Amino acid sequence: MTSAKILKFALTNLFRNAWLSLVTTTILVIALLAANLLIGINYLKERALISVENLVDLTVSLDRQITPDEVTQIVTELDTLPQVANIEVRTPDQNLEDFRQRNPDLNADILPSLDTNPLSYSLRIKTFEVSQYGEVIAYLKASAFKSQIDAAGIYDTQTVTDSINNFITNFNLTVMVILAIFVIIGLIVIFNTIRVSIFTHREEVGIMKLVGATNWFVRGPFLLESVIYSLVATAVAWLIVYPLLIISRTAVASFFTGIDVDLLKYFSQNFWLFFSLEFVGLSLLNLLATSLALRRYLKV
């Protein structure tokens, strides 16, 4: 019976104060839209960084006098490193063919005059993360076969990988700062919105206490209201998010040309996870704000 009364009071408060309920729900919807925007930005960041990492590798040119057995020995040793994801061996003939395709003018003017292939074996090394290239380069410089490696090429690659790694680190830091700012602003706005909502009902709470209502009975309708606010706001936010994703799908794909990006698919695949987390998180936040407002400002 008590639960039914709490539900009745909660629904009565919602409809009787329709304007305040609309304002509160709108604030919560805006907070959730900001949260989904940050989820989308984080997804785009990860896809962009993965694309950058896939384009980067460490190309190591070997001495022209090296034998195939020595190449195999070097590859076997490098393959034991935990940072190394893959090693591709490029033969002199393959390197010459690549050179011809990249330099068609030189191919017609200079290469025909050469008696032998001037290029040697090379290794294309990929690590699991861009930050690990520095560790592999340090290993190559101190290895027993360092005299069989073109050191100049290693230094050039280290400069590029260090620049990319610094960019990724700074980019991640920037995104984290933006996330923190949005979260703090969202918490402040939501807390104050709920506090104002509770403050408008202070007289009702006083009357309920005067007629002998328990603290739980007083808190119950407001706590239930906060959960209803959270559910409605989460549903409305997603009703707005999906059309926006459909509208922006082509524009986002065009902007990230060459990168496998599909925000609509990403949100669709994780819909129930995101919806549940947002509803539960918003409910807990609203319940906390409601409890604090009742205790501190209404002296329940």
pTM of structure: 0.62
Q: What gap in Å lies between CA 217 and CA 144, rounded to an integer?
A: 78
Question: In the numeric block, which tokens belong to residue 43?
Answer: 């997804």
Model confidence pLDDT, tens digit, residues 45-76: 778 777 766 766 778 888 888 888 888 888 88
CA dihedral 139, 144, 147, 151 (to 10 degrees): 0
- pLDDT number for residue 240: 93
**Which residue segments constitute the domains of the chain, with CATH numbers given?**
2-53+168-297 (no CATH), 63-149 (3.30.70.3040)
List CB contacts of 67: < 8 A, sequence separation 6 or more: none
Residues 148-207 have pLDDT tens digits of 776 655 655 556 666 666 776 777 787 778 767 766 776 676 667 666 766 766 666 666
The string of pLDDT tens digits covering residues 203-249 is 666 666 666 666 666 677 777 777 888 888 899 999 999 999 888 88
User: 3-state DSSP call for residue 88?
Assistant: strand
Please report where in the chains the tokens 């206490």 appear, as a residue: 209
Closest among 132, 121, 131 to 81, alpha carbons compared: 132
